[in-house]
Amino acid sequence: MLELIPSPSSSQFSLGPVTIHYYALCIISGIAIAIWLGRRRYASIGGNPDDVSEAAVWAVPFGIIGGRIYHVITSPQKYFGENGNPADAFRIWEGGLGIWGAISLGAIGAYIYFKTHKTTLKFNQFLDSLAPGVIFAQAIGRVGNYFNQEVFGKPTTLPWGIEIKPFNRPDGYEEFLKFHPTFLYELIWCVFIGFLLIKLPGLLSRVVTNKGDIFALYVFGYTAGRLWIEALRIDEANYIFGLRLNIWVCLIVLAGSAIYLFKSARRGNTTDNQVAS
């Protein structure tokens, strides 16, 4: 019977003089999956799939920069506090990409592309097409957290707890061996939401009525799961009124996406080709 998830023996490997980090491989693999699935879904509603690939040239670097900025801003002590090293803020391969910064700035990058280039479909159709692939990419990215031994939760006695090496345990938790694998919980949740995003438009036509609704459902669904997962985490974070900053962000984003979906449903179907399926 499984007693714990063993910690990885290494977070990288070498090919000659080149060191390759598993975290970086997971991020690259996730981006590739998101673009591949996005191209297929975009084409299925009449768009030129090259629009997705070309928009990704803008969205991906914007997203990586945004994700890193969000992570550094919300966890400044690691880089600018006592014993911190500001240069570590640039070491993306060591982990640390904030999803809200990545999605926000990545979407801005894609929006700039759509506004400055001739495309076959609208920006909100692009977002709908890309949403399932993006959340699958997030799931793959969480595998990288496993190799870095990061983004885990409180100590646990559950059989699927993950072993964390002593040097990766936060202050005050040195005596514990097993911790909640919150990165695994989020991986499973992301895969579940991704499949729902693909299947739901046909099943919930009264809810998914307009362009942009699938992306809003992605934001709502992901955030609903992230709330309870975030509450389990014990990595360093800023707190506001006793709650982790990311929990407050989740609550705001969850409310915003719910309001958007409610108003969209009240408007009814205002488009002929509303969602990618």
**pTM for the model:** 0.89
Model pLDDT for residues 199-246, shown as the tens digit of each residue: 876 665 555 668 889 999 999 999 999 999 999 999 888 888 989 989
In this predicted structure, what is the pLDDT of residue 3? 67
In this predicted structure, what is the pLDDT of residue 207? 59
Please spell the DSSP secondary structure of the chain, one letter per residue.
----BPPPS-SEEEETTEEEEHHHHHHHHHHHHHHHHHHHHHHHTT--THHHHHHHHHHHHHHHHHHHHHHHHHSTHHHHSTT--GGGGG-GGGS---HHHHHHHHHHHHHHHHHHS--SS-HHHHHHHHHHHHHHHHHHHHHHHHHHT-S-BSB--STTPEE--GGGSPTT-TT--EE--HHHHHHHHHHHHHHHHHHHHHH-TTTS-STTHHHHHHHHHHHHHHHHHHHHB-S---EETTEEHHHHHHHHHHHHHHHHHHHHHHH----SS----
In this predicted structure, what is the pLDDT of residue 264? 86
Model pLDDT for residues 5-45, shown as the tens digit of each residue: 888 888 888 888 888 889 999 999 999 999 999 999 999 99
Provide the percentage of residues in the chain whose pLDDT is more than 70: 92
